[in-house]
Amino acid sequence: MNSISVGLVATLLMIYGAKINNYFKKITRSVPFIGRFALFVVLCSAGYAFLSSQLVRFLKMFLRGQADLPLIGIIAGAFLVLAFLARSGKDV
């Protein structure tokens, strides 16, 4: 479950990471360059690490609670949805 959870979360962050970074850049536009750079480093090092660790933990708990057959459908469906999102976002 750990590998599957990490794979799903990593794929999700790959798809939406640029959008998150652009939004962060937009909201910190008024901050001087050094401050903006420091905040971006904090976002990338601590923010993404915290976000991914919590998402992996919650996803793993959710998947462990599923029966075998629904689990297969959930995992396959999740990867198919992520593939569709990556394709529509021109990431693939």
Q: What is the pLDDT of residues 76-87, one digit of tens each?
A: 999 999 999 888
CA angle 67, 71, 74 (to 5 degrees): 140
Are the beta carbons of 31 and 39 closer than 8 angstroms? yes
pLDDT in tens, 26-70: 999 999 999 999 999 999 889 999 999 999 999 999 999 999 999
How confident is the model at residue 86, as a pLDDT? 87
Q: How far apart are CA 59 and CA 3, in angstroms?
A: 11
Hey, what's the torsion of the CAs at 66, 61, 1, 44, to 10 degrees? 140
Q: Are 43 and 89 in contact (CB under 8 A)?
A: no
